[in-house]
Structure 1
Amino acid sequence: MSVPRQCLRELGMIGAGVMALVAAFALNMAHGEARIGVGDIIRSFAYNDDLLRDVVSGFRLPRATIGVLAGSAFAVSGALMQSIQRNPMVSPDILGISAGSFFFIALATIFAPALIVFMPIAVAVCGGLVAVLMVYLLAGGFRATPLRILLAGLIVAMTISSITGALLLLYESEARFLITWSAGSLRQNGWSNVQLVWPWIVLCLIAAFTLSRAYDIARLGEDTARSLGQKHALLVTATLIVVLVLTGASVAATGPIGFVGLVAPHLVKLAGVRRHAALIPAAALWGSSLLLAADSITYMLGSLTSAPPVGAITAALGAPWLLWLVLRRSRGGQMNAASSLDFGRAGHVSPTILLLTLLLLIGLTLLAGLMFVGGLPLSGMQVMQALSGKAAPLMQKIVWDMRGPRILAACLAGAGFALAGALFQAALRNPLADSSIVGVNGGATAGILLMVALFPAASATGIGMAALAGGMLAAATVYILAWRTRLTPTFLILIGISVSALCGAFVQILVMQTRFTDNPMVWLIGGLYGANWSTVQILFPTLLAGFICAMLVATKLELLSLGDITARSLGAAIAPVRLAAGATGVTVAAICVSQTGPVGYVGLLAPHLARFLCGHSLRAVLPVSVLVGALLLGLADIAARLVIAPGELPAGSVIALIGAPYLIYLIRRSMRT
């Protein structure tokens, strides 16, 4: 391509970006509680309409300005990360930087409000730095494969978001404005945020543009760049600083907003823009336009109190884009996902001893849940008397009606999530598959909230059916799309992220536009708050039926580990077996979600622990996984109620705190094998 033609293409994209930004800016200024035309805005200043001028200058103009700044910052951050990592799938939100920044802001808001007043950007930057260090430490450094980067970012973002959700729930009064802001918001009350962040964002954008030539050279590869005299490590460090400040400043002003940093750079690249001298300003223009347009859409969907957060709209727009991008690159054979993850050899524990030990530990867990959890500690003798009906009525009520069903429900739900995870991992031949990765948790959550929004008095059966329908729809979508990529781990995870993000956007819109009788945040994090004997009556038969179905297909499912061709030659009906295992896993996981909320990590960790303890035979892994999952969630629920008693953490957050370090250990271990 000739240089003049390339320059014309770049100038055309920048010019189109300017026009798109002007249109998006005008559209955003016109929308709010009352629609105001652009002509009215101009006349308000010309004819001294004080009320209208105050609305425009005090609320709408700052909102649109912060949208331009934040959109530019997120988009340029994504472009820089994609260039320096040579990985088209990364962005600040996928790498967990946005989640880390918001987590530190939440921490400071609750425990050190003075820091938010005097140095909010520094707090956000520190949070982003911690998150990105965790990602690269987990993934193996800057030379990590795209699969490991994506896995690490997913794990870090999931963990941090879960802990942040728990903080917002526990300290609702201190952080009440953060709950709605946690999904992103451009609403401003004056110019204070704009004055705070604009110098940092503009300075970093100028720094990024100054390094344009260096990014063009870095795109040729690290070795080539070094041969041309570039100090690659210095460039990576400078880029990381720029990205952290851009993301931190934006999150401090708007909250975490996802997908802008992924979509905007790709829009520009699809137009043929490659040189960073044009890519950076074009990405900034289109990122601002996208964010302002998304914010305008929120006002079309509801009023000030019921409008969905702008982060939900960007997710709804960006997730399909990521999905398309994944499928496009899979067809092109790019981003090879053949990397395997070996989590170590199995142990050599006698099956009988192992099962008896796990049953004993579960029994002790149940006893601990009956004795120590609650405002009135009980002795073992008191518990036994209550169970046998010989204790006082108050003791029997505590044991039978309050503590007993909850600890039983925790163990049953943990067993169900573990069983589903083991089935998904075996059916998909992917050691990282579980109900959250393949979209079941997100789909079930969306189905439940839609049912409750439409029918507030819905029965437990209706909620369970809604969870099942949502989980099956999400899992089927992920499975069908991932089948085209041969179910390779990278693409399966990315497709799962996309579908989960779509479900999450739908949930956020529902939460903002529906008045639920209870705080949905309590349920969305995952926990056993409302568990009773009805919960046990639903979970027990589900687990029993699911376990029987799993054991019936276990022998044929084991053949899939040899590969489809070998399994077919040995007489296995691959499609029916995989469908039966997947349907069983989806059913069990969806019904568990309907009772406990989307508890993550259990279905991912329990099968790995089971294989480590008993070997790789699925007929042994399934029962051990069930027992390990019961033990994990049972202990997590006890810890959730004891750590900050008389307060209570969500069990999902405790599992994240337990599961993330163990998963980090597994992945780091696999890198040494």
Structure 2
Amino acid sequence: MRFMKRELAAASALNALPNRNASGKVGWRPLWVLLGGLAALSILTFLSLTQGLANISVRSVIMAIISPQDIADHNMIRGVRLPRTVMGLLSGAALAVAGALMQTVTRNPLASETTLGVNAGAYLAVVAGSIFWPAMLHQFSLPFAVVGGTLAAAAVYGLGGGRKGTPIRIALSGMIITLVLSSFTSAFILLNQESVKGIFLWGSGSLLQNDWDGVGFSWPWIIGGIAIICAAVRHLDVLTLSEETARSLGQKVIGTRIMAMAIAILIACVSVSVVGPIGFIGLIAPHVVRMSGLTRHAWLIPVSALWGAAILVGADTLARVFADAYGELPAGAVTAMIGAPWLIMLALKISRKAQSATNSGSSMSVGGMQRRFPYTVLVAAFSILLIVVWIASLTSGSMHIPLSEVMAVLTGHGEDLYRQILIDFRLPRMLVAGLAGMALAASGSLLQSAVRNPLGDPQVIGVTGGAGVGVLLLMVAIPQIAMGWMPAAAIIGGVGAAAVVYSVSWKRGLNPTIITLVGIAVSAAGAAIISMLVIQAEMKIAPALAWMAGSTYGRGWPEVWQMVPTVCILLPIGWWLGRRVDLLSFSDESSTGLGLRVRRVRLYVAIVAVLLASISAANVGAVGFIGLLAPHAARILVGSHHRRAMVISALLGGVLLAAADWIGRIVIIPKELPSGIVTALLGAPYLAFLMYKAGKTRN
């Protein structure tokens, strides 16, 4: 009887495997997709050899391949361009196969080396190795990258809920972990610039090769890993079935998953260790193949590798087309620009297939305190705490100023030296940090309510990235422009990014899942544009990284007067919207039934939140996590009542950013850590706890 059941399960499982016609054959489609990929790859490979700063004729390229001679053009082709192109083929294939395997193992259409944090983890490990163990890294760069990528992927998968995690939850977890790891990486680079010279271009994903060493190192790992996976394609096909069916077919599910994920991380990390983190290839290529109807792994793996190689070589070729005008562009930035609209398309596709997943995966409930303190007591306590942090900030720095002298200066007395330090430098910087923290926290509180997702944040929704693009574009286009124009550029950039997010999401009723996924795509595109601007404008790495990480260094009274009206006007408006925001916590149908115009209210809330975040980004850079941490802590303290939660959130945000600025100034005197990095380092443990708690609550 047991044997008969197993035979029936096997028969139904084989019939369930996709991409078969009535006779059990796959038809001609795989062949056409394969031939199309080969044709595209051949054309793009040849075009790649013709592009570059050196003007080499097509005839010289052909002759260098079929009849090489010892001349400069042929040596350039065979010694520089050819290894670069071959490295692009290998890396593209590795990343595409890694993405396909991760999507199969996790059953998550959004899984890839980028969304699971593998790129960010490997990048951090390599940067840390180049600083602390340079000799060891030179010999063992791959183990460093593999350890970093594996730990990052495990953290994302665990915090995202594991097998029970929804695609949106794992994608958000990946972005959050990536932000945390990127903050550590930025801190290492800022504090050890001499040890990591030239690493910024590599960190943006560059195929630049000066010899065949990179190819010689990577090809055995990549080709070997793909060959092992091709030998196990039938086991991978069974993984696409339910776990019970797979076990009934005799499949060792856990072992197959571990093997597939291990090879995926290995080959992705091989690529990162040579060419840096290049994103979205593992997301785009497998979906291109699956959209053509090829879902059996015997076709999916090799054809994905083919298309991944074609996409990456094509992106690098496109980057080099503009080399004469703009210089060397990183291939990783180009793939991010290509991948962002692809992620948007996937978001729309997911929304059509699983509208109900949104409400189940976006609960705002993460638990609360068993015993809550009175609201007025909390307001008074955090107000006092903010003042204490401000006073500590005024007394601390490279020169300690006694509290008595601080009070004397603030009351109009005190010595001239202390007066100059406090009034001209420390006081405005302290006020900017506090006010920007309030604005970011209030923005996060509003956005989390508007998108009905506990991980909503100006950085996640793409507002901070858009504001950064606006500011850097203005700085690059008009270097001599007055700093007073920066807020206007930030607002235009932030509003532009938000406009893209909301216009794409409008036809889906401003669906929270769609808003968040499109925001991730816009954030990725913004980060790519910022990287290109920093590299092409030859901005000094330290100021650029400090701004992107978020810094209050050098802020003065002009920034204070920009922040004061922002906080005094927009925070009361956000508070006034409180009753409507409370209704957004229900499902859209329930809110509409209560008479709420859901789309319009979401739009109003988003406008206030975007303006708050954009003006803050103009003044303190891309500070992250304030908009995540403060609203959650506020809801734990006072519940989901928006008006109360927003006030507590603003006070907490002011405390967090002011404290981060203070800690960043004193922890490694005479150097400073950007306050955005400090908030990330302080916020990471709480964020891990928060997501773990949210997962337990949901389960």
Amino acid across the alignment from 2:649 = S
1:8 to 28, 38, 56: 28
The farther-off stretch of 518-527 and 21-30 is 518-527
Query: Which position in structure 1 is the counterpart of 2:10?
Result: none
The farther-off stretch of 522-531 and 246-255 is 522-531
Matches of 1:517 and 1:150 in 2, distance apart? 32
Contact 2:373–2:637 (8 Å) recurs in 1: yes
Query: Which position in structure 2 is the counterpart of 1:379?
Result: 402
Contact 1:329–1:335 (8 Å) recurs in 2: no
Q: How does 1:341-490 map to 2 (within 5 A)?
A: 341=363, 342-346=365-369, 348-372=372-396, 374-490=397-513
Distance change (3 Å), C-alpha of 1:361 and 1:29: same
2:239 to 190, 209, 218: 218
Q: Report the 3-state secondary structure (helix = DSSP H, G, I; strand = E; otherwise coil) of the residue aligned with 1:561.
A: coil
Amino acid across the alignment from 1:522 = A
How far does residue 486 in structure 1 lie from its aligned partner after superposition?
4.4
Contact 1:418–1:606 (8 Å) recurs in 2: yes
Identical amino acids, percent of aligned pairs: 38
Matches of 2:83 and 2:345 in 1, distance apart? 34
Query: Which position in structure 1 is the counterpart of 2:344?
Result: 323
Query: Which position in structure 2 is the counterpart of 1:22?
Result: 42
Matches of 1:188 and 1:335 in 2, distance apart? 48
Distance change (3 Å), C-alpha of 1:189 and 1:47: closer
1:624 to 624, 644, 648: 648
For residues 263-317 of structure 1, what are the alpha-carbon distances to aligned partners after superposition, in whole Å with 9 as ceiling and x for unaligned? Answer: 0111111222122111111111111111011001111122498332111110111
Query: Which position in structure 1 is the counterpart of 2:3?
Result: none
**TM-score, reference length from structure 2:** 0.92
Matches of 2:504 and 2:623 in 1, distance apart? 25
Q: Report the 3-state secondary structure (helix = DSSP H, G, I; strand = E; otherwise coil) of the residue aligned with 1:6.
A: coil
Matches of 2:28 and 2:572 in 1, distance apart? 65
Matches of 2:23 and 2:202 in 1, distance apart? 46
How far does residue 455 in structure 1 lie from its aligned partner after superposition?
2.0
How far does residue 249 in structure 1 lie from its aligned partner after superposition?
0.6
Query: Which position in structure 2 is the counterpart of 1:76?
Result: 97
Query: Which position in structure 1 is the counterpart of 2:8?
Result: none
Q: Report the 3-state secondary structure (helix = DSSP H, G, I; strand = E; otherwise coil) of the residue aligned with 2:584.
A: helix
2:289 to 264, 268, 279: 268
5+ residue gaps, structure 2, are 1-20
Query: Which position in structure 1 is the counterpart of 2:560?
Result: 536
Q: Report the 3-state secondary structure (helix = DSSP H, G, I; strand = E; otherwise coil) of the residue aligned with 1:338.
A: helix
The farther-off stretch of 9-18 and 197-206 is 9-18
Contact 1:33–1:304 (8 Å) recurs in 2: no
Query: Which position in structure 2 is the counterpart of 1:604?
Result: 628
Query: Which position in structure 1 is the counterpart of 2:11?
Result: none
How far does residue 15 in structure 1 lie from its aligned partner after superposition?
2.1
The farther-off stretch of 386-395 and 461-470 is 386-395
Distance change (3 Å), C-alpha of 1:51 and 1:2: farther
**TM-score, reference length from structure 1:** 0.96
Contact 2:398–2:666 (8 Å) recurs in 1: no
Query: Which position in structure 1 is the counterpart of 2:13?
Result: none
Query: Which position in structure 2 is the counterpart of 1:493?
Result: 516
1:292 to 285, 307, 313: 313
Q: Is 2:303 the partner of 1:282? A: yes
Amino acid across the alignment from 2:41 = L
Q: How does 1:55-66 map to 2 (within 5 A)?
A: 55-66=76-87
1:42 to 55, 59, 62: 62
Q: Is 2:227 the partner of 1:203? A: no
Q: Report the 3-state secondary structure (helix = DSSP H, G, I; strand = E; otherwise coil) of the residue aligned with 1:150.
A: helix
How far does residue 469 in structure 1 lie from its aligned partner after superposition?
1.4
The farther-off stretch of 320-329 and 337-346 is 337-346
How far does residue 487 in structure 1 lie from its aligned partner after superposition?
4.3
How far does residue 29 in structure 1 lie from its aligned partner after superposition?
1.0
How far does residue 333 in structure 1 lie from its aligned partner after superposition?
2.9
Query: Which position in structure 2 is the counterpart of 1:242?
Result: 263
Amino acid across the alignment from 1:630 = G
Matches of 1:266 and 1:335 in 2, distance apart? 23
1:646 to 656, 670, 675: 670
Q: Is 2:127 the partner of 1:106? A: yes
Contact 1:268–1:282 (8 Å) recurs in 2: yes
Contact 2:180–2:681 (8 Å) recurs in 1: yes
User: What CA RMSD, in Å, does the superposition of the two structures yield over aligned residues?
Assistant: 2.0
2:602 to 556, 578, 584: 578
Contact 2:100–2:286 (8 Å) recurs in 1: yes
Matches of 2:578 and 2:295 in 1, distance apart? 51
Matches of 1:595 and 1:381 in 2, distance apart? 30
Q: Report the 3-state secondary structure (helix = DSSP H, G, I; strand = E; otherwise coil) of the residue aligned with 1:216.
A: helix
How far does residue 324 in structure 1 lie from its aligned partner after superposition?
0.9
Query: Which position in structure 2 is the counterpart of 1:117?
Result: 138
For residues 402-434 of structure 1, what are the alpha-carbon distances to aligned partners after superposition, in whole Å with 9 as ceiling and x for unaligned? Answer: 211111111111000011111122233332222
Query: Which position in structure 1 is the counterpart of 2:682?
Result: 658
Matches of 1:488 and 1:665 in 2, distance apart? 27
Query: Which position in structure 1 is the counterpart of 2:165?
Result: 144
Q: Is 2:542 the partner of 1:521? A: no
Q: Is 2:109 the partner of 1:85? A: no
Q: Report the 3-state secondary structure (helix = DSSP H, G, I; strand = E; otherwise coil) of the residue aligned with 2:577.
A: helix
How far does residue 569 in structure 1 lie from its aligned partner after superposition?
5.0
Matches of 1:497 and 1:443 in 2, distance apart? 12
Matches of 2:38 and 2:189 in 1, distance apart? 39
Q: How does 1:548-563 map to 2 (within 5 A)?
A: 548-563=572-587
Distance change (3 Å), C-alpha of 1:260 and 1:3: farther
Distance change (3 Å), C-alpha of 1:161 and 1:461: same
Matches of 1:195 and 1:497 in 2, distance apart? 35
Aligned length: 672
Amino acid across the alignment from 1:663 = L
Contact 1:421–1:603 (8 Å) recurs in 2: yes
